[in-house]
Amino acid sequence: MLAGLDRPSAGKVTVSDQIVSGITKGVSFMFQADALLPWRSVVTNVSLGPIFNKVPQKDALEMARNWLRIVGLSGFEQHYPHQLSGGMRKRASLAAALINKPSILLMDEPFSALDVQTRSIMSNELLTLWERDRPTVLFVTHDLEEAIGLADKVVVITAGPGTVKAIFDIDLPRPRGALQEIRFQPRFLQLHQQIWEALRDEVQRTYARQGAPVAAKETIA
């Protein structure tokens, strides 16, 4: 709805105080699955955005090479997605999302399929890259630590139907630093407890609907 690809059943969606009535300009996506074309090399995948925006192919490829360098994929320009690890594919997807310098970046659990260590690294890299142009990021996640570590505002959604249950301002200073380190800070732990209090019932309700036994608090967390 924010991108203008769907319409709200009630109410309205605004971007920069303007009601969304068509396709919103300046929006990039990063999905759960890697949105990379398997028959194209990494560099030609990343160059697609500028090419669609009428940038000459030579210039688009140069832009793509620069972004691959920024995300740590220099030397892999001519590789294909199946030749990359999961973390490397996410870096390529992130470069493809950021190459057009979006004003809004929509991210749907982009790191959920990664192992814990790679996921933390990608979160840290996202924070570093965000500092370059500071787009508005709408980030969907089920990981509470990830939410607190990345966000300025955390919105807790009910299990279903999905409505806003609570909103928390994250007052951790920026630049944040490594997520692996700041998650032990007293304020981080305090925010974690406050948000978990709002989230706990929704997690238990989801488990109950799926027919699973309600787990202990430590297991759910």
Q: What confidence tens digit (pLDDT) does each residue in 59-99 have? A: 999 999 999 999 999 999 999 999 999 889 999 999 999 99
Is 8 inside any structural domain?
Answer: no
Question: Domain holding 19: CATH number?
Answer: 3.40.50.300
Is 175 inside any structural domain?
Answer: yes
CA separation for the pair 109, 98 (Å, rounded): 17
CA separation for the pair 49, 27 (Å, rounded): 11
Is 6 inside any structural domain?
Answer: no
Domain count, the chain: 1
DSSP state string for 117-179: HHHHHHHHHHHHHHHHH--EEEEE-S-HHHHHHH-SEEEEE-SSS--EEEEEE----SS---H
Taken as a whole, the chain contains a residue count of 221
Q: Which domain holds residue 70?
A: 14-220
Predicted TM-score of the model (pTM): 0.85
Is 7 inside any structural domain?
Answer: no
Q: What confidence tens digit (pLDDT) does each residue in 7-25 have? A: 998 899 999 999 999 999 9
Give the neighbor-by-neighbor strand order of the sheet with 104-108: 27-30, 104-108, 136-140
Is 3 inside any structural domain?
Answer: no
